[in-house]
Amino acid sequence: MQPRMLALKTAVPPYILDQSDIAGHAARLFSGRKDIGRLMPMFANTGIEKRHASAPVDWYLVPRGWTDRGEVYLAQSVALLEEVARACIAQAGLTRENIDAIVVASTTGIATPSLDALLVEKMQLRRDIQRLPIFGLGCAGGVIGLARAAALAKAQPGTRVLFLVVELCTLTFRKDDLSKSNIVATALFADGAAGAILSTQGDGPAIAAWGEHTWPSSLDIMGWDVTEEGLKARFSQSIPMLTANEFPTVLQDFLKARDLKLSDIDGFACHPGGAKVLDALEVAFGLPSGGLVDSRAVLRDYGNMSAATAMFVLARMDWRARNKRTLMSALGPGFSAAFLILEG
């Protein structure tokens, strides 16, 4: 029995960041870096027009530590997850009492008790609900987390699993950090949440397959550095090159192991890590330049929301379409590629 997706919803926090405005702030804040003029075009070249944030711009313009960041992370994460969870339950025609398990993926903050426990209390979900918090998957967390939720639903037929993902990437911003990684994060990162309900019982596209690949000696390509002020973004310049050179082989291996070819895929719901990564993915998928229309549109309107972004791309597509096979993919710390196939 295959797990099926019964609902899919997204949510964003209330504060909107205009990319041109953020570029202006960045030029002033990072003026102490000698080559800032050379780096500033990246704000226009990201393909982003606007993003959503968990706090107004002024909040980010003063020094922040773990306490400040943590308070906003907990408050906004629970609020967004509750919004998504209620919307998913309503879309699936269910009630809170129908949810048997909850899986929550997030890597942009720390919560103990975990976010799933906080949500159980806030929404008064069943006291015997199964809980699975997932931390550390970064941008791949939406695809891998959905796969873990699908595995749970498949292992217990009839169980209704609520999968949720929330990332508040803007909370990692550092006004006094002149490193290139911080400037890149400032140009790309945004906040958002998404969710789905999975079960072997019900109508919706089947989650037919999933898989991952972790490259050797790649731990330093992407991740967080943990400092006294909070989490600090770490990026490698090699991500677009690795995507262009090695992702196609990993993709072909994933498809071949499942007796599929690239021509069997009707649509792509790819995490838009950035414009250059999307360029490389379009080549890997045999698409024309700009062919990942939905991924580029989500990047334009929402920015890079880490793990939540791939779910936004899927939500923008006709994910309930019959006789359609969709490939979800994302790249995240490890360094890893994640894949998942939906069949309508």
255 in the same domain as 126: no
Q: What is the pLDDT of residues 264-299, one digit of tens each?
A: 999 999 999 889 899 999 999 999 999 999 999 999
239 in the same domain as 126: no
180 in the same domain as 63: yes
Mean local confidence (pLDDT), 315-328: 94
pTM of the model: 0.94
Backbone angles phi, psi at 15, to 5 degrees: -90, 125
42 in the same domain as 130: yes
Contact 172, 231 (CB under 8 A): yes
Contact 78, 112 (CB under 8 A): no
Give the pLDDT score at 220.
Answer: 86
Of 166, 182, 199, which residue sits at a domain end? 199
Tokens of 80: 């967004």
82 in the same domain as 14: yes
| Beta carbons within 8 Å of 180's beta carbon, 6+ residues apart | 39, 235
Q: Which amino acid is at 41?
A: P
| Beta carbons within 8 Å of 322's beta carbon, 6+ residues apart | 344
CATH at residue 316: 3.40.47.10
146 in the same domain as 36: yes
Domain count, the chain: 2
First to last CA, the chain: 15
93 in the same domain as 235: no
Please identify which residue in the block is written with the tokens 């803007």. Answer: 170
* Segments forming the whole domain that contains residue 290: 206-343
252 in the same domain as 195: no
Give the pLDDT score at 40.
Answer: 93
72 in the same domain as 169: yes
Of 145, 168, 199, which residue sits at a domain end? 199
Rounded to an integer, what distance in angstroms lies between the CA atom of residue 158 and that of residue 160?
A: 6
For the chain, the residue count is 344
Rounded to an integer, what distance in angstroms lies between the CA atom of residue 70 and that of residue 137?
A: 19
Q: What is the pLDDT of residues 174-187, one digit of tens each?
A: 888 898 888 989 99
Catalytically active residues are 139
29 in the same domain as 159: yes
Q: What is the pLDDT of residues 136-171, one digit of tens each?
A: 999 999 999 999 999 999 999 999 999 999 999 999
Of 199, 219, 246, which residue sits at a domain end? 199
The region, left, alpha or beta by phi > 0 then psi within -120 to 50, assigned to residue 88 is: alpha
Q: In 3-state terms, what secondary structure has residue 310?
A: helix
226 in the same domain as 182: no
121 in the same domain as 41: yes
